[in-house]
């Protein structure tokens, strides 16, 4: 199993607008291709303009196949266009994590 941990930062004052846009146009298609993440949360303290989501994949091949299908979907391409036009996001940080041997989810 691998975990795809993503942190996005929005321009100050735009996180609610960005999440509303994502909920309407991104969430349905992304969850269709990737399944449900184990975490999708907005930051409560610290950088309150950020949110995090963590997706679970069987392995790198599973991740690559699911993300390729997502990127090829015209509805996802349209969401990315809408998101870029809105200009709410200012940064994205991705980490691939692998559970340590003693942790069993």
Overall number of domains in the chain: 1
Indicate the pTM of the whole model: 0.89
CA end-to-end span of the chain, whole Å?
10
Cβ atoms of 26 and 79 closer than 8 Å: yes
Domain assignment present for residue 29? The answer is yes
Least confident of 42-46, 70-74, 79-83, 86-90: 42-46
Asked whether residue 27 is domain-assigned, the answer is yes
Q: How confident is the model at residue 14 (pLDDT cuts 50, 70, 90)?
A: very high
- 69 pLDDT band, cuts 50/70/90, is very high
Helix, strand, coil percent values for the chain (each to nearest 5): 45, 30, 30
Q: Once rounded to an integer, what is the mean pLDDT over residues 63-85?
A: 98
What pLDDT is attached to residue 105?
62
Would 102 be classed as within a structural domain? Answer: no
Per-residue pLDDT, averaged over 13-40, amounts to: 97
């Amino acid at each position: 199993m691998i975990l795809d941990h993503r942190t996005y930062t929005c321009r100050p004052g735009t996180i609610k607008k960005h999440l509303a846009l994502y909920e309407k146009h991104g969430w349905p298609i992304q969850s269709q291709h990737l399944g449900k993440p184990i975490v999708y949360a907005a930051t409560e303290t610290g950088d309150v303009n950020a949110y995090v989501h963590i997706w679970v994949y069987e392995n790198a091949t599973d991740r690559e196949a699911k993300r390729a299908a997502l990127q090829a979907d015209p509805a996802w391409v349209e969401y990315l266009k809408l998101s870029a036009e809105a200009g709410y996001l200012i940064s994205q940080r991705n980490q691939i994590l692998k559970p340590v041997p003693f942790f069993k989810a």
